Structure 1
């Protein structure tokens, strides 16, 4: 990928030259420079792991007393539920019964 020296837009290749679609700037292609460019072709693919069905869904655990079943362990996460200038709210999910509550719910 090459960017235009004049306007900064992405350039395309055409007949051995780099051409800017935005301003029309043109420059010759240089094989030595292009060898240094990194492309996605030939890179190894990585496995995508779906955690949506995982028990903890990637959330950390903490010690917290569940108000429903008295279990003493829960997953927790932070979520913005008010305006951006307000602090986030911490939510807990019981590891046993999956009851959900907020930190300030007592």
Structure 2
């Protein structure tokens, strides 16, 4: 992949030249340089795995009592839900019933 020296857009090959479709800049192709470019063509694709529950996402656990079922273990994660100058909120997800609550909900 080659990028335009003038505007930074992706260049497209057109015969013996590279052409920028954004600004019109053209440049002669250098076949030796093109041989050194990295390509994804021919590489194997990785398998996409659906991980829907918290344990498979690798979330850390903590000891806390679930207000829904009384289980004493929950996964937790932090999320910014207010403005940037406020601290993050810790969310908990029960490892048994998957009930979700915020740490300050008590």
Smaller-chain TM-score range? Answer: 0.7 to 0.9
- Range 42-51 or range 79-88, more displaced: 79-88
Distance 1:48 1:5 in 2: 36
* TM-score under structure 2 length normalisation: 0.82
Where 1:104 maps in the other structure, the secondary structure is helix
Structure 2: segments with no counterpart, 5+ residues:
none
The residue aligned with 1:68 is: 68
Where 1:19 maps in the other structure, the secondary structure is strand
Instruction: Give the CA RMSD over aligned residues.
Output: 1.9
Where 2:41 maps in the other structure, the secondary structure is coil
Distance 2:22 2:2 in 1: 13
How many equivalent residue pairs?
A: 105
Q: 1:82 to 1:35 in 2, by over 3 A?
A: same
CA shift for structure 1 position 57: 4.6
- Range 28-37 or range 17-26, more displaced: 17-26
Where 1:34 maps in the other structure, the secondary structure is helix
Higher helix content, 1 or 2: 2
The residue aligned with 1:30 is: 30
Which whole-Å deviations, capped at 9, do the CAs of 1:22-68 have from their partners, x for residues lacking one? Answer: 3332221111100111111111111111102x463512211112233
Q: 1:27 to 1:99 in 2, by over 3 A?
A: closer
